[in-house]
Amino acid sequence: MDVARVRKDFPILARPQHGKPLVYLDSAATSQKPSSVLAAETGYYESANANVRRGVYALSVAATDAYEAARARVARFLHASAPEEVIFLRGTTEAINLVATSLGRGRLKPGDHVVTTVMEHHSNIVPWHFLRTYQGVHLDFVDIDDEGRLRMDGLEALLAKRPKVVTVTHVSNVLGTVNPVREIAERAHAVGALVVVDAAQSAPHRPIDVQQLGADFVAFSGHKTLGPMGIGALWGRHDLLDELPPYLGGGEMIRDVHQDRISYCEVPAKFEAGTPNVGGAIALSAALDYLEGIGWGELAAHERRLQEHALRVAEERFPGQLRIYGPPRAADREAVLAFSLQGAHPHDIASLLDEDGVCVRAGHHCAQPLMERLGVTALTRASPYLYNSTEELDLMFDSLERVARLFGRGRAS
Ligand SMILES: Cc1ncc(COP(=O)(O)O)c(C=O)c1O
């Protein structure tokens, strides 16, 4: 992959930070956007903007057609069997809230078990906690091993309680662990559980095949996948989406409303109350076009190189000082590098790196149960993406060396 050429497609990367070149290594929080995505969103507002589904005039029909074409594009990316299985929402958080709330209203009873894992982002914990708090559902957590892999024996033990739902992240936003979703789904289905997959950190890096994953619901966010903020999608099995009660109520999701009764639209409209983010959906489909244009194989090879480089340089330049969390081999991990540097607080690290133009994230990464499991309160996380180079990772390590010196624990050499 020609990184220099790719970088030209991302106007923001030319913006300096503190007078230095911008080294953007926070793509797991949100990715930058290529010009084609920006143009798709602007183009929609310049030439096709009208509210969808409700107008009889040509402009509204054009907007509706463009919106539905975006749905078909996302369905193709996810390998969904039909566009109606794709619900446009604000992102992963809203998608998982929808699934948890609708299952809570339609299927779960007090005393039922829901299984999640200690490596989840809060958006795949808190909606289930709501069911625990307000509906008496039990919430069980699968543990990880010392290399940050899911304990499949732990999953097996929890499946013995015959949970109604197993919900798991495809890729951890802290450890980079890639979970064996298909195997998890098979085991969960064998005990009658529904399977929910948080694909927020996998969708930016690999095509998602919902048939192959074997799950019942899969959620992802557009803004981490080169698309704009405020748009994402939930894929759900058609029969389940048909069966489940709606999440938000309002315009465009109802068939009839009377004083004493209501009936709902078919999916996907049933789950899309109110005015949707049409421009966002169109721009998301442009983002998927861009990623496919790069080629998933090319992208994976580039990202593997970045991971291998980072793991090797960290070992060479910070022996015994810098600890990277998650599976030790680049082949077993994706997307993120969360680390601790001896003697330095993650927030100090991130602030000092910022002075050198390097953007990394510090904190609990919306994964407090995982931080507790790892015995830390915070970590620093670098998350490179297609527009990052090994040279930029070296700049980060140069900056980290300055941090290590400042905290009095520079290299022994
Ligand atoms: C694994 C994972 N799940 C869910 C989310 C939430 O995504 P969003 O804020 O786009 O809804 C994130 C965001 O960082 C994430 O990393």
Dihedral through CA 306, CA 214, CA 294, CA 67, nearest 10?
-130
Dist. CA 121 → ligand 1 center (Å): 7
pLDDT at position 411 over 80? no
pLDDT in tens, 137-186: 999 999 999 999 999 999 999 999 999 999 999 999 999 999 999 999 99
Dist. CA 199 → ligand 1 center (Å): 9
SS3 category, 200: coil
pLDDT in tens, 234-260: 999 999 999 999 999 999 999 999 999
Catalytic residue chosen out of the listed positions 366, 379, 395, 396: 366
Are 135 and 107 contacting, i.e. CB atoms less than 8 angstroms apart? no
52-80 average pLDDT score: 95
209-219 average pLDDT score: 98
> What pLDDT sits at residue 259?
97
Q: Which two tokens stand for residue 380?
A: 């620093």
Query: Which amino acid, one-letter code, is at 25?
Result: L
| Cα–Cα dist 158/175, whole Å | 22
Query: If you write DSSP's letter for every residue of 247-295 in order, what string do you get?
Result: SS-STTSEEEE-SS-EEEPPTTGGG--S---HHHHHHHHHHHHHHHHH-
Percentage of the chain exceeding pLDDT 90 = 96
Task: Choose one of 27, 221, 234, 366 to mutate for the ligand 1 pocket test, by most ligand atoms within 8 angstroms of C-beta.
Answer: 221
CA distances from 182 to 16, 179, 192, 215, 264 (A): 43, 9, 15, 7, 33
Considering only CA atoms, which residue is closest to atom 9 of ligand 1?
93
> What pLDDT sits at residue 284?
98
Dist. CA 354 → ligand 1 center (Å): 23
Cα angle vertex 346, ends 120, 378, to 5°?
Answer: 30
Bond from prior residue into 83 cis (ω within 30 degrees of 0)? no
71-86 average pLDDT score: 98
Cα angle vertex 78, ends 76, 84, to 5°?
Answer: 70
267-292 average pLDDT score: 98
> What pLDDT sits at residue 335?
81
DSSP letter assigned to residue 63: H
> In the structure, what pLDDT confidence band is assigned to residue 413 with cuts at 50, 70 and 90?
very low
| Cα–Cα dist 77/59, whole Å | 27
Atom of ligand 1 nearest to the CA of 92: 11
Atom of ligand 1 nearest to the CA of 95: 11
> In the structure, what pLDDT confidence band is assigned to residue 409 with cuts at 50, 70 and 90?
low
| Cα–Cα dist 85/239, whole Å | 9
Are 87 and 113 contacting, i.e. CB atoms less than 8 angstroms apart? no
> In the structure, what pLDDT confidence band is assigned to residue 329 with cuts at 50, 70 and 90?
very high
Dist. CA 261 → ligand 1 center (Å): 36
CA distances from 407 to 122, 237, 347, 359 (A): 32, 53, 13, 20
> What pLDDT sits at residue 412?
37
pLDDT at position 34 over 80? yes
Task: Choose one of 31, 93, 205 to mutate for the ligand 1 pocket test, by most ligand atoms within 8 angstroms of C-beta.
Answer: 93
269-292 average pLDDT score: 98
Considering only CA atoms, which residue is closest to atom 12 of ligand 1?
200
H or E segment to which residue 188 belongs: helix 181-190
Atom of ligand 1 nearest to the CA of 169: 1
> What pLDDT sits at residue 410?
45
> What pLDDT sits at residue 265?
97
| Cα–Cα dist 213/190, whole Å | 15
Instruction: Tell me if residue 359 is catalytic.
Output: no
> What pLDDT sits at residue 55?
79
Number of other CB atoms surrounding residue 106 within 10 Å: 12
Q: Which two tokens stand for residue 150?
A: 């899911």
Percentage of the chain exceeding pLDDT 70 = 99
Across the chain, mean pLDDT equals 96
> What pLDDT sits at residue 54?
78
| Cα–Cα dist 151/164, whole Å | 20
pLDDT at position 187 over 80? yes
> In the structure, what pLDDT confidence band is assigned to residue 287 with cuts at 50, 70 and 90?
very high
As for ligand 1, residues whose beta carbon falls within 6 Å of it are 28, 91-93, 121, 123-124, 169, 173, 198, 200-201, 221, 223
pLDDT at position 78 over 50? yes
H or E segment to which residue 220 belongs: strand 217-221
